[in-house]
Amino acid sequence: MNADKRYEIFTRLKADNPNPQTELNYNSNFELLISVILSAQATDVSVNKATEALYKKAGTPDKMAKLGVEGLKKYIKTIGLYNTKAKNVINTCKMLVELHESEVPSTRAALEALPGVGRKTANVVLNTAFNQPTMAVDTHIFRISNRTKIAPGKDVLAVEKKLIRHVPKDFILDAHHWLILHGRYVCTARKPRCGACTIEDLCEFKDKTEY
């Protein structure tokens, strides 16, 4: 895919949604971090339902750490992998208190040192909380990047690097959100809604007929 086509794709995505936002509910960088950790292999809807009560009770690292693993499980037991996530979240909260003065760090190395925080989670936080030009490649972005040929790659890291290199600078800060939302609601996995897609004529997906 050439640069002009990519620029037009993101121009249209921006026109449709000028100020894209994550669908996770949060009121602080800390709540964002915890929600992203909890969202692994879970829907944003399920995370939001669980965290509504959780953040009212424990909206700071210190308060959440004091819940303990078993106390936290009561709030997040409806979310997949909640046992492992509870342990990671409590340990992350303790590290935030002890090492970062209860603040979410703004560097990749510090974020990825927190339990339950991998590259994708770090990228979400760096982009959404700190306005850094990162690209968190989830299943939606991986699928769209390969299907449309915006940034094809064999694994998520390859796609991430290509997106960072090829997404026009004018759009890089919001590109992650546009692509996720497009994959979630339009370019879906099983039956992409090609007829309703604002970038259909620019897409290089060759097998639309199978849908």
Confidence of residue 96 (pLDDT cuts 50, 70, 90): very high
Query: Please, are residues 76 and 82 in contact by the beta-carbon 8 Å criterion?
Result: yes
pLDDT at position 208 over 90 = no
pLDDT of residue 160: 96
Output the six-digit token pair for 27: 């009121």
Query: Please, are residues 129 and 32 in contact by the beta-carbon 8 Å criterion?
Result: yes
pLDDT at position 209 over 60 = no
pLDDT of residue 1: 84
pLDDT at position 184 over 60 = yes
pLDDT of residue 206: 72
Active site residues: 120, 138
93-98 contacts, C-beta under 8 A, 24 or more apart:
93/61, 93/62, 93/64, 93/65, 94/61, 94/65, 96/30, 96/61, 97/61, 97/62, 97/65
The DSSP call for residue 104 is -
pLDDT of residue 211: 44
Question: Domains of the chain by range and CATH?
Answer: 3-20+134-210 (1.10.1670.10), 29-128 (1.10.340.30)
- From the list 27, 83, 29, 33, the residue with the least C-alpha distance to 52 is 27
pLDDT of residue 207: 59
Q: How far is the C-alpha of 77 from the C-alpha of 124, rounded, in Å? A: 23
Average the pLDDT over 183-194 and give the result: 91
Output the six-digit token pair for 195: 């007829």
Confidence of residue 80 (pLDDT cuts 50, 70, 90): confident
Share of the chain above pLDDT 70, in %: 98
Average the pLDDT over 181-202 and give the result: 92
pLDDT tens digits along 134-170: 999 999 999 999 999 999 999 999 999 999 999 999 9
Encoded amino acid at 115, one letter = P
pLDDT of residue 203: 92
- pTM, two decimals, is 0.89
Strand, coil or helix: what is 37? helix
CB-based contacts of 182: which residues, under 8 Å, 6+ apart?
13, 140, 144
Output the six-digit token pair for 206: 């060759």
